[in-house]
Structure formats: structure tokens, C-alpha cells
Amino acid sequence: MTRKPRHIGHKIALVCAALCALMMLPALGGFIWFWYTRGLADTWTPSLMATVAFFGFCSGVLYATSVPQPILPPEETAAVDA
């Protein structure tokens, strides 16, 4: 399937998706570290888990926004007479 090229808005969304995915990695590391050292009862652990989920969903939505639309087939020029 052929797609239109990415314009500047799509490129910005793709870069922001990559940045969100990149920022998710330290939050994931912090979550795992806090989970093993302090457990789930500490208030920081669920907060870091929510941060990981936020950055993950943020990167997914921004990536979906960055995908250009497919090229539509040409319209038929035959007029329909009633």
C-alpha cells in the first residue's frame, strides 16, 4: 500500500513518540528498582508505574498520529444519470 510522504506535523509527532519512548526507559528502570527495594506498598512505586504507562501510551498515540494516510484511488468520472 502506498502512502503519502510525511509532512512536518507527522515528522514532529514521530520525533515526540521517540522521545516519549526514550523517557519511558528510565522510568521503567526506576519502577523496577523501587519495586524490588521498597515493594508495591510505597507511594513512589505506583507513581512510577503510572509514569511508565503514560509514556508508553503517549508514544503509541504519537506514533499512530505520525503515520501518513494511504493514497486514495482516483475518483470515477462517469456521471450517474437517473
Q: How many CA atoms lie within 13 A of 33 on its CB side?
A: 6
Q: How confident is the model at residue 17 (pLDDT cuts 50, 70, 90)?
A: very high
CA–chain centroid gap for 72, Å, is 25
pLDDT(70) > 90: no
pLDDT at 80: 58
In the block, cell 506535523 appears at 9
pLDDT at 79: 58
- 51-76 in b/e form (b: 16+ CB < 10 A) is bbeebeebbeebbeebeeeeeeeeee
Query: How do the domains of the chain map onto residue ranges?
Result: 8-66
- The stretch 8-26 carries a mean pLDDT of 95
